[in-house]
Structure formats: C-alpha cells, structure tokens
Structure 1
C-alpha cells in the first residue's frame, strides 16, 4: 500500500480539528482503561461480587450502561473512541508525525492505522451497546471462534503461533517504551505542576509496563492455543486476567496489574492535557 498516494487524495485537515479529536480520543481511552483497572482490582479481591470474566472493554461498556445516565455516558465514550480512531487514521494516512515513507516510517504509520481500526471496532461495539444490540460482539468468545476457524486451516497452528509472537512483541515494546522513557516523548512535562510531575511520570511508566504484561500474556495464550490446537486457550484481556488469577498469589498479581492499568488510564488524561499534537502533514 502506498500511503503517500492515499494521503495526497485526502483534503488537508484543520489543525484544531485534529487536536480536538486527539484530545477527546485520549480522554475516552483514559476512561476505558481506568474502568478496566478498577473492575479488575475488584475481581482480584472479589469486591462487589466481581469476577475476572467479561473484564474486557465490552464488559466495561456494559458496566457504564448499568450506571445512572449510563446510555448518555457511554454515548460520550463512544464519540471519544471514534475521535481516537480518526486521529490514528489521520496520523497513518496524512503522516502528521512526519514518519516518512521509508521502511521504518511505513511500519510506524501502519501501526497507527492498525490502532485506528482497533479503536474503530471498539467504538462500533460501544455504539451497539448504547443501542441495546451488543450481543456477544468483541468478547473473548469471538476471538476463540476466530482462532478455532484458523486452526482448522492448513498451517493454522503456525499462523496462530505467529500471531502470538507478534502480540508478545507488542507487549515487549510497551515495556521498552516505559523503561526507556519514550512514552514521554511528546508530553510537555515542563508544563506539569512540580508537585505532581514525579507521580504522573511514574504512573505512566507503571501503566505502560502493566499494559505490556497484559499483551504478553495474551500472546502467550495464543501460542499455547497453537501448540495444543485448542482455541479455548486463546482470548483477550479477561482470559489473561483469569490466567493471572489462577497463578500462585494470583489475587495479588491481578491486583497489581489492575492498578497498573488504572495508572495507564490516568496517564491518558495527562496525554490529553499535555501532549503536543502534530497537525501539519
């Protein structure tokens, strides 16, 4: 795919349009991850009768719907997720970040496009929940059905195993961003109040590490599904949480990861406030 030729056919964007979409999208992402963290922590210590089942983003949408004015609140989150998806797609096709057209640049822009598509599907799932027709869309059972179909194809186990390795790679990259400080690259930390700066920086680091751990666990479960030719081993975040819960000291492990995901959500609000959003292609 030639991203340059595609971007040349798209009308130039207005800077304020891009900034507003990015900031609203990051805030919506923060809401989702904070709720994932809270619900996972409650499940870890069996608070309020919560369990690790359905602790995916679709479960979060349903949780929002169950609150007072839930339909209105979830509609706002859905709009935010649409904005986030459009911002990522803008980064991919208009190259606002000036990643270029070499192999590395195309790889980064393809990553933006993938993120845009993922959050576009999440926005679609949240809108279905608002309209009361969510069904089983977006859950771990959907992933397991897809994995089951792929496993029945020639080289299916290899494909699922490769997907697992790629997912682990994403997780390791999240941890690398945390430890290297790259997660702060576009954040104007000088504008953050001195008394809050250290806590915010640490919350971002912890958050990215926790997110990397979850990605790594999901990848490991995909590889396990491939090796055992058993689609039920694969899944998303709720399957990863269940895996942690079954480990030794599982409640504490899940609780720690849950707090990390909550920190990641908080850092998305920080990004929404302090990140420099590039708007010129």
Structure 2
C-alpha cells in the first residue's frame, strides 16, 4: 500500500492531539486565573468550551476543536483496534488499548458538545459533573450496579496512578521523535502535565468509589468538581494553582505531541476493516 494511504489517518491523529491540547490548555488557564483571583473558573472541559464561545471567532474555534476531537476519537479507536502503537496482546497491552477505546468515545461526546455549542443547539446543560452523575445513576440502576460503579472508580483511579508513575519515571516522551536540544524541557512539561492529570484522575476515581460505597450518584465529580474540591482545602488556592499549571502544561504537551509524536498509522484499508469488524 503506498505511503500516501497512511497520510489522512496520521493528519487526523495530529489534528486530534492538537485539539485535545487546546482544551486542556483552556481548562488549566481558566483554573489558574481562578486560583490567583483574576477571574477564570474551575470548571471542566465543557465549561472551558462555553467560555470560548464568548470570545472573538468563538464559534469558528469551537468547530475546529470539534473536528479535531472527532479526529482524536477516530485515532484512538483505530489505535485500539489495529494496535497501531504496538502495545501487544498481553494483559497490559489490552488494558491500554481498552482505555484508549473508552477515551475515544469520551472525546466523541466532547466533540459533539463543542459542535452543538457552535451551532447554537446546546446551552451546555448541567456540565460535566451532572453528566457524570447521570451516567453513574444509570449504571447504578443496572444489575450489580454498585459493583460496576466501584470497578469504574478503581479503573479511573488506577489510570491516575499510572499517569503519576509515568511522570515520576520521566517516560513521557517515549513515543516522541524529539530534537536532542529540545528533549529536556519538553520532558519537563510532559511530566508536569501527566502528574497533574494523574492527581485529578485519582480524585475523580475516589469520588466514583464513594458513589459506589454510598449508593449515591450525587457523590460523583468530574474534572471541574475535582478542582473545586482542591480549592476548598487548606491552602486550596496553592493546590489549585499547581494543578492548573500542570493541566496547562499537559495542554502544551498535546501541541507538542501533534508535532513530534511517532504515529505508525494503519493504511486506509486496514482502518476500514477494523471499523467494519467492530460493527459486526
């Protein structure tokens, strides 16, 4: 298959990493402003996109972000189904690929939210916290619902721990093709980003675990709720500022991934076959 058949998938993936980076940069920047008392907010991704709507050319930016997030969703799904990143078929490989598959659908939801917001079809609803409570309540109503919610909480918290370990070990640039002179500062940015993201995931997983323990979906918090909880702690503004800086750093790292990540994209025939197999 000619190399050109890989190019659309690679372009889609790079556009997706960039869009995700922009979203995290917005979340981190707004939270940092809230921490230092200069306006801003501690909301999650949806709140950040709503804020962007009020800016000049806000609808244009939202459409571009939505397209990028749809691309990221498609890349995550293809990556998981075709093992484009060579994660392998052992337990760890399947766990990573499964997590990427789930994240693909999550970003598809965020992309739809951004697109509807740009087209004036959505006022934002109850935000991420309410959306998290809604799906928790639905899952809780299923057979063995409390156990299922508890497993989700463990999975989210485990992902957070994995991010923290990755930041601690400094293995954030393993899949980047970096110039030697840029490697040190890019790794520093990546470690800050993964550490902050890990802390937030740990907190979200903890809230989901409490919801399972108390059989109450009202315990659940999303990204914005986790940062609000940080802000309410002693010296909360410091904790929030540090976390916000880390999330902003992860946003910058997303833009770096868009430029330097190694993407061994499947060709279009392989991608179509993977999607067709998923639909069976």
Q: Does 1:42 find its partner at 2:25?
A: no
Relative distance call for 1:105 and 1:151 in structure 2 (3 A) is closer
Match of 1:169 among 147, 158, 161: 158
Q: Does 1:156 find its partner at 2:145?
A: yes
Backbone CA RMSD of aligned residues: 2.0
Match of 2:23 among 24, 32, 36: 32
Contact 2:170 2:187 in 1 (8 A): no
The CA deviation string for residues 57-85 of structure 1, in whole angstroms up to 9 with x for no partner, is 11111111110110011111111111111
The CA deviation string for residues 97-136 of structure 1, in whole angstroms up to 9 with x for no partner, is 2334444433332222112111111111111111112241
TM-score (norm 2): 0.87
Relative distance call for 1:155 and 1:168 in structure 2 (3 A) is same
Contact 1:171 1:211 in 2 (8 A): yes
Q: Distance in 2 between matches of 1:119 and 1:149?
A: 20
Question: 2:264 aligns to what?
Answer: 278
Match of 1:201 among 167, 178, 187: 187
Contact 2:172 2:187 in 1 (8 A): no
Match of 1:226 among 204, 209, 212: 212
The CA deviation string for residues 10-37 of structure 1, in whole angstroms up to 9 with x for no partner, is xx99211121111111111110011000
Contact 2:128 2:223 in 1 (8 A): no
Match of 2:85 among 91, 97, 105: 97
Q: Does 1:260 find its partner at 2:246?
A: yes
Structure 2 unaligned segments of length 5 or more: list them.
271-280
Q: Distance in 1 between matches of 2:137 and 2:82?
A: 37
The CA deviation string for residues 133-179 of structure 1, in whole angstroms up to 9 with x for no partner, is 22417521121123234445554333322221111001001112212
Aligned residues: 264
The CA deviation string for residues 230-272 of structure 1, in whole angstroms up to 9 with x for no partner, is 3222120011011101111111101100000000111111111
TM-score (norm 1): 0.87
Q: Distance in 1 between matches of 2:155 and 2:193?
A: 20
